[in-house]
Amino acid sequence: MGSAGYEQLVADLDETAVLEAWERNLAGSVRAQVAPDQLRAELSALYRAFVAGVRSGDGTRSNSFDEVRALLSELSTSRARRGFSPTETASSVFALKDALFEVMGVTGSSDQLELSRAIDDLGLFTFERFAAAREAVILNQSEQLLELSTPVVKLWDGILAVPLVGTLDSARTLVVMETLLQMLVDTGSAHAIIDITGVAAVDTQVAQHLLKTVHAARLMGAECIISGIRPQIAQTVVALGIEFGDIATRATLADALRHVLNQAGYDVVLRPDRAS
């Protein structure tokens, strides 16, 4: 595209007129949600970079368009974070085409086609950046989910519970182990219940991770019990030949709590006269 003839087309245009038309052509939702001053600043910076790129006479993937691409990246990233749709984001760029043709008048010349193609290319680039930014947001959220999904709750004086949800891998187990052990120290609890009701599957590796956690707690002087073992999982555990040894296991959290209360010296009594 070194011989692009469209640079002459753009060079003669009135910048203010193009910017006004561009802004008018933007999707209504973008105009409604972005402050007018900010929008104008974005558009004029982008337009100047675009004109500079076009003047160089090189293709849109060349170094001359570096600044345009940087501005577009920034724009798509911020749009992605603010929850704009892909169409709204990409049409910000395509609106420039309409604006340019509106100001220069459509002649259908090959130079105009060239210009149109250049803007299409930038639109695609915007789209790419938009997708990348969304992926980054998703990745970030799944990391936050990892931290959020390992709460340690206090069930009773000296009794903690860790409800595990999802899959257990080494990274996750380490987070669970560290949080649990630290909480044991902080609260001076001698008992902990690890509830695996929400764990999708238990294989030898997951069992290994659980055993490690229990042994580490034991070294610190606290006793762990594993609850929430569904029948399916009990069968898997036996089929795989996993030995829990002298670690207490229970089917439900309620059973586990009763066992631990008992061990801690509490008596849970039903009073028939108060039972409803």
Partner 1 sequence: MERIPIYQIGNVLLVSIQIDLQDSDVIALQDSLSERIASSSAQGVVIDISALEIVDSFVGRMLSTIAGVSRVLNARTVVVGMRPAVAITLVELGLSLPGVETALNVERGMAMVTGSTAAATASDTAADANDDVL
Chain positions contacting partner 1, by CB under 8 A: 174, 177-178, 181-182, 184-185, 188-190, 212, 215-222, 248, 255, 258-259, 262-263, 265
> Which residue, 118 or 214, has its beta carbon nearer to partner 1?
214
> Which residue, 100 or 257, has its beta carbon nearer to partner 1?
257
> Which residue, 174 or 234, has its beta carbon nearer to partner 1?
174
Minimum CB separation of residue 189 from partner 1 in Å reads 8
Name, in order, each residue with C-beta under 8 angstroms of 16's C-beta and a sequence gap of 6 or more: none
Q: What are the backbone dihedrals phi and psi of residue 225, each rounded to the nearest 5 degrees, phi first?
A: -135, 145
Which tokens sit at 4?
A: 């692009």
> Which residue, 64 or 252, has its beta carbon nearer to partner 1?
252
The CA distance from 188 to 208, in Å, is 26
Which tokens sit at 104?
A: 């220069």
Minimum CB separation of residue 202 from partner 1 in Å reads 19
Minimum CB separation of residue 164 from partner 1 in Å reads 17
End-to-end CA distance of the chain: 84
The CA distance from 116 to 96, in Å, is 10
3-state SS class at 223: strand
> Which residue, 25 or 187, has its beta carbon nearer to partner 1?
187
Minimum CB separation of residue 217 from partner 1 in Å reads 7
Minimum CB separation of residue 190 from partner 1 in Å reads 6
The CA distance from 24 to 22, in Å, is 5
